[in-house]
Amino acid sequence: MDKRKIWVVCDAFDHVDSFTGQLISKAYQLSKESNGSVQAVFIGNASDDELKRCALYGADEVVYQQCETKDEKVWLDILSDIYSSIGADIIMFTNTDFSKTLSSLFASRFEVGLTADCIDICFEEENGFVFERAAMSDSVQARIICINSQCCTCTVKKNAFVETEINAPKELNIRKWEYTGSFIADPAYEIINSVKRVCENNTDLDNAKIVFGVGRGVKDRETFDMICQAGKKYNAVVVGTKCVVDDGLLPKKLQVGQSGCSIAPDLYIAFGISGANQHLVGIRNSRQIIAVNNNENAPIFNIADVKIVADVKEFMKEFAE
């Protein structure tokens, strides 16, 4: 039987970033489980040396299409061209805004199954590729398969997989694609005004060693400020649950969980967080978890290494001393 084709769509345009590395690493692992081969589909503008880095994570081949623009519609046409010609069994996209749009357009065009924001993928003889993501409003993960679908597609959450360099990289084949369609983006709009947004919050969450998580149990500004102060002192990044972000206490990019980001610090301290599954999936790779909650039965304690039953405000007053 032909090898299963496992695609990773690289979207960093001019280099292989760590998010792409995570996807290729996972694809490599899947290729071993499913007798497959890993193809990195690279659209953009990168040197051969840069493309060869895909092999470090286990890619067998790079399909490269030189392209000067980063436009979803143009990429969709290029991707469609490659897909129609060589086919794929599974296509993995990152879940950046760009790739979320690209993957949705693609899935709609070919009417194939698409699972959003996966946190795990596995291969099983009876089910084929199985995608895991948070179930709608449950305390469990849903396992999803594609049916009546020519290929399976998914977007993957950042940091769901670990970027791993393989021991003996294979000889990488770079296949230069020659797309003959148009590279011009549809000018159906005109920019009237554009303002750069200053990122007040330039925190490097991906590499943070210590992270403090704030939940709805943090009830007043004073307690929140004490946590931020302590965060500064210990060099910790302060993040929040969805509820806290929806309340406007923290920006969306500091939301951790299913619909936010995933983190893997050495130490995570959860302040007043109940421990809903949608939050836990984002912190489960933390090396050590300390939870402070006034309800001794809070689910967060099930995955905590250190359990502290206390009122957050009282606790912070002492902690800030």
Partner 1 sequence: MIKIVVCLKMVPGKLINAEAGGLIINPYDLFVLEKLAELKKSSDISVIGICMGGESARDGLIRSKALVCDDIYWLNDIKFAQADTIATTKTLTAAIKKYIPDADAVICGGHAIDGETGQVPAELSEKLGITYFSSVADIESFGNDSAVIVRRDERQEMTVRCRYPFLLSVDSFLTYASNLNVIALKRAQKWEYKIISAEELGIASTDCGASGSKTKVINSVNIIYKKESIEIGGSIKEKADHVKKLLQQ
Ligand X SMILES: Cc1cc2nc3c(=O)[nH]c(=O)nc-3n(C[C@H](O)[C@H](O)[C@H](O)COP(=O)(O)OP(=O)(O)OC[C@H]3O[C@@H](n4cnc5c(N)ncnc54)[C@H](O)[C@@H]3O)c2cc1C
Least distance in Å: CB of 273 to ligand X? 4
**Quick one: which of 126, 155, 193 has its CA closest to 26?**
155
Convert residues 203-242 into a mask of x (bound to ligand X by CB under 6 A) and - (unbound): ------------xxx-----------------------xx
152-156 and 113-118 strand pairing: parallel
CB nearer ligand X, residue 34 or residue 255: 255
Q: What kind and span of H or E run contains 175?
A: strand 173-176
168 binds, among ligand X, partner 1, none (CB under 5 to 8 A by kind): none
Beta strands in 45-95 (DSSP E): 61-66, 90-94
- Structure tokens, 93: 């996209």
Binding characters for partner 1, 158-197, by CB under 8 A (x = yes)? ----------------------------x-xxxxxxxxxx
Q: Which residues, 6 or more positions from 34, have their beta carbon under 8 angstroms from its beta carbon? A: 4, 6, 123, 129
Q: How far apart are the first and last CA of the chain?
A: 67
Residue 216 site contact among ligand X, partner 1, none (CB < 5 to 8 Å, cut-off depends on kind): ligand X
Q: Which of residues 50-89 bind partner 1 (CB under 8 A)?
A: 72, 76
Sign of the CA dihedral with 266 first, then 271, 273, and 275 last: positive
132 contacts ligand X (rule: CB under 6 A): no
Between 170 and 284, CB nearer to partner 1: 284
Binding mask 6-35 for partner 1 (x = CB under 8 A): ------------------------------
Cα(70)–Cα(65) distance, integer angstroms: 12
Query: Which one, of 18, 2, 5, lies nearest residue 61 by Cα?
Result: 5
Distance of CA 186 to the CA centre of its chain: 29
140 binds, among partner 1, ligand X, none (CB under 5 to 8 A by kind): partner 1
Query: What's 261's DSSP letter?
Result: B
| DSSP conformational letter for 207 | T
229 is in the binding site of which of partner 1, ligand X, none (Cβ under 5 to 8 A by kind)? none
Residues 6+ apart with CB under 8 A from 122: 30, 33, 129, 130, 132
Q: Which stretch binds partner 1 (CB under 8 A): 13-21, 35-43, 45-53, 134-142?
A: 134-142
Q: Per rule CB under 6 A, is residue 293 in the interface with ligand X?
A: yes
**DSSP states of 296-318 as a string?**
TT-GGGGG-SEEEES-HHHHHHH
The span of 37-45, 51-59, 60-68, 115-123 binding partner 1 (CB under 8 A) equals 115-123
- Judged by CB under 6 A, does residue 254 bind ligand X? no
Q: Which is nearer to partner 1, 24 or 134 (CB)?
A: 134
| 144 in contact with partner 1 (CB under 8 A) | yes
**158 binds ligand X, rule: CB under 6 A:** no
Residue nearer to ligand X on the CB measure, 55 or 283: 283
Neighbours of 130 (CB within 10 A): 18
Please tell me the number of Cα atoms within 13 Å of 194 on its side-chain side. Answer: 2
Minimum CB separation from ligand X for residue 172, in Å?
Answer: 36
Q: Which of 56, 86, 105, 174 binds partner 1 (CB under 8 A)?
A: 105
SS3 state of residue 33? helix
By CB under 6 A, residue 265 contacts ligand X: no
Kindly state the smallest distance separating residue 114's Cβ from ligand X, in Å: 17
Q: Which residues bind ligand X (CB under 6 A)?
A: 134, 136-137, 215-217, 241-244, 255-260, 272-274, 276, 278-279, 293-295, 298, 311-313
